Amino acid sequence: MTTPQRPVSRGRRLAVVAALVMLLGCLLPWYTLAGDLPSSPFGAFDGSGVLVFGAALATLALVTLPYATGRPAWDVDRWIAYALIAGVAVLGAAVWPVGFLDGPAGLRPDRAPGLWLSFAGALALIRASFLITREPTRL
């Protein structure tokens, strides 16, 4: 006999969308060298962007945990876990461009769409953790 699952809340749906946006951002260039030379893009996996990728995967795992195991409630499935994961994502996206500050033209949104998408996903994950704080506690 399986226990009926609760519908996915608005905050958790936003967390899934944020994680997918961060994953897409990790696949796109995070920096493209500007100039007359052939462009040489750098990606998320060339630095601390790996933290963003890991945070996106952790978010997806956290959202699917109650549905994968059949238990309706887990102690780890709370807003604080989502906030910590969002903090890791923001840290990874904020630290990554520090090495490229000598050529800031390569960080423009048209040259670094992945970085900006990852920031947007991390901010959406912060919003999702706020929405999760407003939810009634799952029993």
Residues 89, 56 contacting (CB under 8 angstroms): yes
Distance CA 57, CA 64 (A): 11
Percent of the chain scored above 70 by pLDDT? 88
For residue range 69-105, list pLDDT tens digits in order.
Answer: 777 666 777 888 999 999 999 999 999 888 777 777 7
Lookup: tokens for 75: 């102690």
Q: Domain extents for the chain?
A: 10-133
Which pTM value belongs to this model?
A: 0.85
Lookup: tokens for 139: 């029993």
What type of residue sits at position 117?
L
Confidence of residue 1 (pLDDT cuts 50, 70, 90): very low
Distance CA 110, CA 138 (A): 43
Q: Does the structure show a pLDDT above 90 at 31?
A: no
Distance CA 30, CA 39 (A): 12
